[in-house]
Structure 1
Amino acid sequence: MNLPLSTLGIFHTVVSVIALVFAAISLVREGVINPRSRTGRYYMIITVIACVSAFGLSRAGGFNPGHALALLILLLFGVALLAVRTQLFGRASAYVEVFCMSATLFFSLVPGINETFLRLPLRNPLSTDIDSPATQRALMVLFVLFLAGVGWQLLKVRAAVRQRAGGIIH
């Protein structure tokens, strides 16, 4: 199956990969994607550009699941920033921030995996659509990694909150 990339598709792909690099750097350096750090801010800005560019992409025409994921990512960024800046969620704000930022990465990788499996290897792609067994297995592994990663991050946040509270969470 030959799926050529448009100029916008190439731009979107390059921008998306750059955003993923910043997410990875942030995760390695801080254990979370921190919207207050330089790499976290770059991840957010570049991901917003990727989300906006996604609205110009559609193989079938019209609104598609990729567009819905882009909207969801933008919504999650908004919730994470609310949590960071306003403490709207009270003591749960740090947890909400971590979950939302990690979820943006997860939802960015879903179409990335699907598109990669549809296109690679060039002569014999791994799948024909998102319902292909290879794609479904990869997405399941990604989901398990997401849950494990969020769980680990939330435990790390809990330990930091306990340490700041002198061992007592109020």
Structure 2
Amino acid sequence: MSILGLIHTIIAIIALVFAANGLIKTGFVSPFSATGKWYSIMTVLACLTSFGLSKAGGFNPGHAIGILILVLLAIAYLIGKNASRKRILLYVQVFAMTATVFLSLIPAVNETLSRVPAGAPLATGPDDPLVQNVVKVLLVLFIIGVTAQILKLRKTSLAAQQAA
């Protein structure tokens, strides 16, 4: 692994730790919470460092994922702090932030399974059935997670409306 690859990996792991912390504490990765801001900063850095990495040379699917993550982060921040005033915007913001976590895990799974254990990796690359099956499980978890987040937001906003 190159120095850039090592730096990228450390930054990406730190970003995912911040995401996990936000999800565990509140059930969301809010872009404007302290945890969400750190997650976003580290994720942007992970994406930027990923652009200097390529096994095949040139632009690859990992770079496309990085660009999509940056676009989703931008959407979440452009929606702004006032997203809670318009429920649909809050749903889009939650979806965007959660999607960045899901998308970050795709190359993480591929790279981990293609490198570990050293000398006899569990998978050969992104087309390996093991990698594809793990990504499918992550997709199901992403769908369940986003659904749970939206239901939690609906319940919270309905309770607030009834209290008013």
- Give the equivalent residue in structure 2 for 1:8: 4
- AA partner of residue 72 (structure 1): L
Deviates more, 1:21-30 or 1:77-86: 77-86
Residue 79 (structure 1) aligned to one of 51, 57, 75: 75
Q: How far did 1:155 drift? A: 0.5
Out of 140, 157, 168, the residue aligned to residue 153 of structure 2 is 157
Q: Secondary structure at the match of 2:162?
A: coil
Deviation at 1:107, TM superposition (A): 0.4
Q: Indicate which of 64, 68, 77 corresponds to 2:64.
A: 68
Q: Equivalents in 2 of 1:167, 1:95: separation in Å? A: 22
- 3-state DSSP of counterpart to 2:53: coil
| Counterparts of 2:130 and 2:81, CA distance in 1 | 41
Secondary structure of 2:55's aligned partner: coil
Distance across 1 between alignment mates of 2:100 and 2:88: 18
Looking at structure 2, the residues matched to 105 and 167 of structure 1 have their Cα atoms a distance apart, in angstroms, of 34
CA–CA separation in structure 2 for the residues paired with 1:85 and 1:156: 18
Q: Distance in 2 between matches of 1:130 and 1:42?
A: 29
1:96 matched residue in structure 2: 92
Q: Which ranges of structure 1 fall in alignment gaps of 5 or more residues?
A: none
Matches of 1:133 and 1:39 in 2, distance apart?
A: 34
Which runs of 5 or more structure 2 residues have no equivalent in the other structure? none
CA shift for structure 1 position 142:
0.6
In the alignment, does 2:35 pair up with 1:25? no
Q: Give the drift of 1:167.
A: 7.2
Size of the alignment, in residue pairs?
163
Other-structure match for 2:34:
38
In percent, how many aligned pairs have the same letter? 47
Q: Does 1:126 align with 2:131?
A: no
- Write out per-residue CA displacement over residues 77-132 of structure 1, whole angstroms, 9 at most, x where no aligned residue: 11111223464x94301100110000000000000000001001113111111111
Instruction: Answer whether contact 1:84 1:94 (CA < 8 A) is retained.
Output: no
Which residue is 1:47 aligned to? 43
C-alpha RMSD of the superposition = 1.6
Distance 1:118 1:167 in 2: 53
Give the conservation status (yes or no) of the 8 Å contact 2:114–2:123. Answer: yes
User: Which fold has the larger relative contact order, with Cα–Cα distance below 8 Å and residues 6 or more apart in sequence?
Assistant: 1
Moved over 3 A (4+): none
Q: TM-score, normalised by structure 2?
A: 0.94
Retained in 1: the 8 A contact 2:106–2:135? yes
Give the structure-1-normalised TM-score: 0.91
